[in-house]
Amino acid sequence: MKKVGILISGRGSNMTALLEAMKEPGFPASCALVISNIASAEGLSRAEAMGVKTMVIDHKASKTREEHDAKMIEALKAEGVEIVCLAGYMRLLSPLFIRTFPNAILNIHPALLPSFPGLHVQAKALEAGVAFSGCTVHLVDELCDNGPILLQAAVPIYPDDTEEALSGRILKYEHRLYPISLKLFAEGKFKLCGSRARLSIDRDEYQRLLQSLVSLGDDQ
C-alpha cells in the first residue's frame, strides 16, 4: 500500500476523484495528506469530509519557493508519503521538491501533451482548429508540463464547441484517467525507459482500460 500526498489550490475535483478511488477495496494506495497553499480552497473541506488529513501551507508565508516547498516536503515526509499527486495545484514546484520525490510526482494536464502546455489550453486548442483535445497524466520534471507521459485520453472537438463546454467534457475524462493512472503507477506497472514510461500490462487489460474511457463518450 503506497502512501499518497495530494497538492491542491482550489476546488479539488480531481482530488475528489482520486480519494474516491482510493477508498475502493484493493486499491494499491491510500491518501496520507492533502496540502493546499490556499486556506480558502474548497478542496480542503471536501477532503476533511472524506476523513483525510489536511494542511494549509501558505506560500505567502515563505520568502522563496524553495522555503515553501521545504515546508511541504517536511509535512509529506512526516506522513510517509511516497507518491505525490498534483490536483489543481497552481504553482510550479522547485527543483528541490522534484528531486526529493524523483519520478514519483504525478500531474494531470487538460490537453494532449506535448501539445498545448501551460494555461488556457482549451482556448488554444480551439484557436488552432485541431480535431481532438483531451487530457494527459504525466510524471513531473523540472520543466513545465513536461516529463514522461503515463496515460492519455482523446476527446473530440465539435464544430460549435466553446472553451467552457470543451473544458467540462474533458474534466469527465480527467476524473477517470487520473485514478487509473495512479493505480497502475502504485502497482509498478510503468517502467521508465529514458524519457518514455512504458506500460507493462497485456493487450486485453489495455483494451478494457481503453473501453472504460470510450464509454464516457456515450452521453456526449
Cross-sheet strand order for the sheet of 54-56: 54-56, 29-36, 2-8, 83-86, 105-109, 132-139, 149-156
Query: Minimal CA–CA distance to 150: which of 173, 176, 178, 124?
Result: 178
- Amino acid found at 67: E
The reported pLDDT for the residue numbered 214 is 75
Largest Cα–Cα separation, the chain:
51
Instruction: Give the count of beta carbons closer than 10 Å to the beta carbon of residue 152.
Output: 18
Which residues are catalytic, by number? Answer: 109
> Per the structure block, which three cell numbers stand in for 96?
528541490
Tell me how far apart the alpha carbons of residues 69 and 62 are, in angstroms, rounded to a whole number. 9
Domains of the chain from N-terminus onward: 1-102 (3.40.50.170), 107-220 (3.40.50.170)
Tell me how far apart the alpha carbons of residues 109 and 207 are, in angstroms, rounded to a whole number. 23
pTM summary value: 0.95
> Per the structure block, which three cell numbers stand in for 159?
464544430
- Assess contact for 38 and 10: CB atoms under 8 A: yes
The reported pLDDT for the residue numbered 213 is 82
Query: Minimal CA–CA distance to 92: which of 14, 7, 197?
Result: 7
Tell me how far apart the alpha carbons of residues 34 and 43 are, in angstroms, rounded to a whole number. 9
The reported pLDDT for the residue numbered 159 is 95
Tell me how far apart the alpha carbons of residues 208 and 7 are, in angstroms, rounded to a whole number. 30
The reported pLDDT for the residue numbered 218 is 47
Tell me how far apart the alpha carbons of residues 90 and 11 are, in angstroms, rounded to a whole number. 12
Tell me how far apart the alpha carbons of residues 155 and 217 are, in angstroms, rounded to a whole number. 8
| pLDDT per residue of the chain (220 residues) written in tens, 0 to 9 | 999 999 999 999 999 999 999 999 999 999 999 999 999 999 999 999 999 999 999 999 999 999 999 999 999 999 999 999 999 999 999 999 999 999 999 999 999 999 999 999 999 999 999 999 999 999 999 999 999 999 999 999 999 999 999 999 999 999 999 999 999 999 999 999 989 999 999 999 999 988 888 777 645 5
